[in-house]
């Protein structure tokens, strides 16, 4: 028996995270299921931005580097993100984009594991991460090799050539989640290091880098952490590795004594050595608002709700949309998946355009995926119910066949 809209309302009333919805500035009439691409706007962000821009920048000017401690913003917010991913103080720093951070930590892992030259990953990983590894390979003049093997063969493929295992914890399309502890342990037992991309994990699923003994990690600020478009990202380097490698981008704010202005680069002692240029203060301050909000939610409650939302969405989609050829690509085991649900349909692009026109915002991932991010902080059970109801209507009426829904935009 499918659950009713009234049942969904009851689930919302019983939800301990229900009040967080009011902390976000979501437009009327929109069901936002794309927080895994661009998180929603926290209400407190605009005011914080106003203060940073008018007071700290406009009035206090350059004095703010000291007066408002801009200089420590990357480590201050890094320490807060550390609490969300099971890292310790001084192990996480906010900087650059995830892409650039991945370049930095992959390079560090290769420095530490010098006798080996292979970066091992899987096909269909977020392509960006494969591109970054390909860039490193090209830069190394052929010394470094990116080796890609199917997910099922990853474990057996960690041989004596593998320097580093590079994986995304939660897959951006299927939401399948790797066993971080098991794979990291296996990598270590075979002399390799592990780099984890947490872009679809932090703030959505349980992550404990310390328990997993992870070596390096990177992650995104603009998805579940609600840091805003192009928000700076973060990187994690386990304390035991911090003195053993340097950033390949040896910039002045990663220097031991930035303000001595000496000619020779000397890396800062700790995680700060992974900083390069001037900190993106506006971006970091916006990210901090999102992270502070996330820190107010009990992690276990967050992950439990994420699972419930995904299960409900997948079940309702199956019950109500299965007859229209929509197929779930979700892993059956709810303990090994992230916080989004992907559905497959040959006309996924047009269907998503028609859904967006009806106020249900998800995204399309080529070639045939409708992806719905179910962010536990601000998505409710009734949202899920209504979204599937609208999806069923779009499919039943074939409204997605209208010419206006066929036109491809640059960003999907």
Ligand X SMILES: *Cc1c(COP(=O)(O)O)cnc(C)c1O
Active site positions, annotated: 126, 197, 222-223, 371
Measured CA to CA, the distance from residue 263 to residue 248 in angstroms comes to 17
Q: 168 or 247: whose CB is closer to ligand X?
A: 168
Site for ligand X in 119-148 (CB under 6 A): 126, 128-129
Binding residues for ligand X, total number by CB under 6 A: 13
Measured CA to CA, the distance from residue 259 to residue 249 in angstroms comes to 18
Q: CB of 168: closest distance to ligand X in angstroms?
A: 4
Give the contact letters, 168-187, x = binds to ligand X (CB under 6 A), - = no: x---x---------------
The answer to whether residue 200 forms part of the interface with ligand X (CB under 6 A) is: yes
Applying CB under 6 A, among 45, 64, 98, 117 the residue interacting with ligand X is: 98
Site for ligand X in 280-319 (CB under 6 A): none
The answer to whether residue 70 forms part of the interface with ligand X (CB under 6 A) is: no
Residue 341 contacts residue 310 (beta carbons within 8 Å): yes
**Cα–Cα nearest to 369, from 330, 409, 324:** 330
Measured CA to CA, the distance from residue 15 to residue 206 in angstroms comes to 19
Measured CA to CA, the distance from residue 357 to residue 217 in angstroms comes to 37
- Cis, bond preceding 119 (omega within 30 deg of 0): no
Q: CB of 68: closest distance to ligand X in angstroms?
A: 25
Strand 162-168 and strand 216-219: the pairing is unpaired
Interface region with ligand X, contact rule CB under 6 A, candidates 81-89, 195-203, 255-263, 316-324: 195-203
The region, left, alpha or beta by phi > 0 then psi within -120 to 50, assigned to residue 191 is: left
Give the contact letters, 365-404, x = binds to ligand X (CB under 6 A), - = no: ----------------------------------------
Applying CB under 6 A, among 64, 107, 199, 201 the residue interacting with ligand X is: 199
Bridge partners for 197 per DSSP:
168, 218
The answer to whether residue 117 forms part of the interface with ligand X (CB under 6 A) is: no
Applying CB under 6 A, among 144, 180, 220, 354 the residue interacting with ligand X is: 220
SS (H, E, C) 112-177: HCCCCCEEEECCCCCHHHHHHHHHHHHHCCCCCEEEECCHHHCHHHCCCCEEEEEEECECCCCCEE
Residue 231 contacts residue 254 (beta carbons within 8 Å): no
Q: CB of 214: closest distance to ligand X in angstroms?
A: 15
Q: CB of 331: closest distance to ligand X in angstroms?
A: 17
Q: CB of 366: closest distance to ligand X in angstroms?
A: 15
Given the rule CB under 6 A, which residues bind ligand X? 97-99, 126, 128-129, 168, 172, 197, 199-200, 220, 233
């Amino acid at each position: 028996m499918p659950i009713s809209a009234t049942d969904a309302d009851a689930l919302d009333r019983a939800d301990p995270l229900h009040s967080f919805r009011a902390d976000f500035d979501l437009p009327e009439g929109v069901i936002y299921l794309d927080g895994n691409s661009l998180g929603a706007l926290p209400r407190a962000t605009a005011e914080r931005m106003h203060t940073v821009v008018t007071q700290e920048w406009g009035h206090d000017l350059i004095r703010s580097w000291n007066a408002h401690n801009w200089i420590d913003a990357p480590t201050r917010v890094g320490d807060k993100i550390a609490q969300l991913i099971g890292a310790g103080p001084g192990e996480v720093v906010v900087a650059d984009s995830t892409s650039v951070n991945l370049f930095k930590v992959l390079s560090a892992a290769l420095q530490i594991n010098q006798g080996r030259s292979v970066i091992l990953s899987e096909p269909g990983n977020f392509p960006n991460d494969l591109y970054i590894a390909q860039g490193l390979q090209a830069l190394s003049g052929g010394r470094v090799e990116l080796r890609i093997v199917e997910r099922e063969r990853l474990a057996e493929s960690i041989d004596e050539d593998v320097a580093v295992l590079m994986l995304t914890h939660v897959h951006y399309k299927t939401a399948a989640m790797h066993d971080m502890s098991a794979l990291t342990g296996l990598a270590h037992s075979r002399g390799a290091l592990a780099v984890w991309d947490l872009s679809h994990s932090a703030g959505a699923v349980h992550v404990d880098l310390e328990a997993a003994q992870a070596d390096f990690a990177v992650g995104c600020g603009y998805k579940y952490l609600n840091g805003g478009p192009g928000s700076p990202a973060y990187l994690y380097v386990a304390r035991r590795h911090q003195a053993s490698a340097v950033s390949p981008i040896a910039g002045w704010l990663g220097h031991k004594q930035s303000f001595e202005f000496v000619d020779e680069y000397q890396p800062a002692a700790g995680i700060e050595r992974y900083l390069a240029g001037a900190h993106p203060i506006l971006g970091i301050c916006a990210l901090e608002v999102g992270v502070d909000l996330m820190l107010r939610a009990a992690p276990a409650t967050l992950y439990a709700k994420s699972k419930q939302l995904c299960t409900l969405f997948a079940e309702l989609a199956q019950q109500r949309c299965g007859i229209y050829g929509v197929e779930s690509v979700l892993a059956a085991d709810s303990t090994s998946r992230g916080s989004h649900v992907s559905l497959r349909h040959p006309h996924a692009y047009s269907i998503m355009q028609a859904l967006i026109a009806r106020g249900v915002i998800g995204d399309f991932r080529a070639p045939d995926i409708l992806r719905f991010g179910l962010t536990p902080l601000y998505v409710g059970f009734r949202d899920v119910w209504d979204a599937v109801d609208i999806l069923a209507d779009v499919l039943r009426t074939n409204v997605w066949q209208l010419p206006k829904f066929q036109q491809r935009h640059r960003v999907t």
